[in-house]
Chain A
Amino acid sequence: DQQVKQNSPSLSVQEGRISILNCDYTNSMFDYFLWYKKYPAEGPTFLISISSIKDKNEDGRFTVFLNKSAKHLSLHIVPSQPGDSAVYFCAVWSYNFNKFYFGSGTKLNVKP
């Protein structure tokens, strides 16, 4: 069973506009939510995170929103830049399960 789902495999956005990447999860017991960015043939790098006690965390152009009632996580990038083009993975952590679960990723293409 997939604990974390990213239903959009790809997203295309014009430079300067907002990119919104979405993630749904199944278990209300998850404690910590993270976004990773991955370029081809490289390991993912950490982007931004949020704990389950918050609903928003902002870091520069990146904002993560957590809607616990809907079990939904989103990442907003504004303004989008061509260098943001990459695959974005959402991940969740559970103290109960003591491990991370990853979504399947969304490939973002920011067009100049």
Chain B
Amino acid sequence: DGGITQSPKYLFRKEGQNVTLSCEQNLNHDAMYWYRQDPGQGLRLIYYSQIVNDFQKGDIAEGYSVSREKKESFPLTVTSAQKNPTAFYLCASSKRTPIGELFFGEGSRLTVL
């Protein structure tokens, strides 16, 4: 079955540690996205990538980094510079053109202790 796989589903981190969230898709989609969801807020875009080896900052990129070395993979690193990293993180993908809906993974909940 085609889809998006995020791992881990739950992650605990000590302050000052970097952590990497995995996102893999087998939908052959060109575009991939990382969103963050906080209680009472919409999904906010962290980074996105339209093609391999290229990515752009979203609205809240500070304290995060990404890479897009393969079409299928778009890992997100939450660095120690991110001041409020505790959140629910969602990875998504879509066809680049024509625009279609986003397909989301199940999410990763990161808690900083």
**A residues adjacent to B (C-beta < 8 A):** 2, 4, 6, 9, 31-32, 34, 36, 41-46, 49, 89, 91, 93, 95, 98-100, 102-105
**CB–CB B58/A99 < 8 A:** yes
**B residues adjacent to A (C-beta < 8 A):** 4, 6, 33, 35, 40-45, 48, 50, 58, 90, 92, 99, 101-107, 109
Residues of A within 8 A of B6 (CB): 43
Sample (18) of A-B pairs whose CB atoms are under 8 Å apart? A9-B40, A32-B99, A34-B101, A36-B102, A36-B104, A41-B107, A43-B92, A43-B104, A43-B105, A43-B106, A44-B43, A44-B90, A45-B104, A89-B43, A100-B33, A100-B45, A102-B43, A104-B40
Contact pick for A93, options B4, B48, B99, B103, CB 8 Å: B99
**CB–CB B42/A104 < 8 A:** yes
- Known pairs A100-B45, A104-B42; A95 contacts B104 (CB<8 A): no
Residues of A within 8 A of B101 (CB): 34, 46, 49
Q: Which residue of A lies closest to B103 (CB)?
A: A46
**CB–CB B107/A99 < 8 A:** no
Distance between Cα atoms of A36 and B37 in the complex (Å): 14
Q: Which residue of B lies closest to A94 (CB)?
A: B99
Distance between Cα atoms of A98 and B101 in the complex (Å): 13
Contact pick for B42, options A31, A34, A49, A105, CB 8 Å: A105
Residues of A within 8 A of B109 (CB): 41
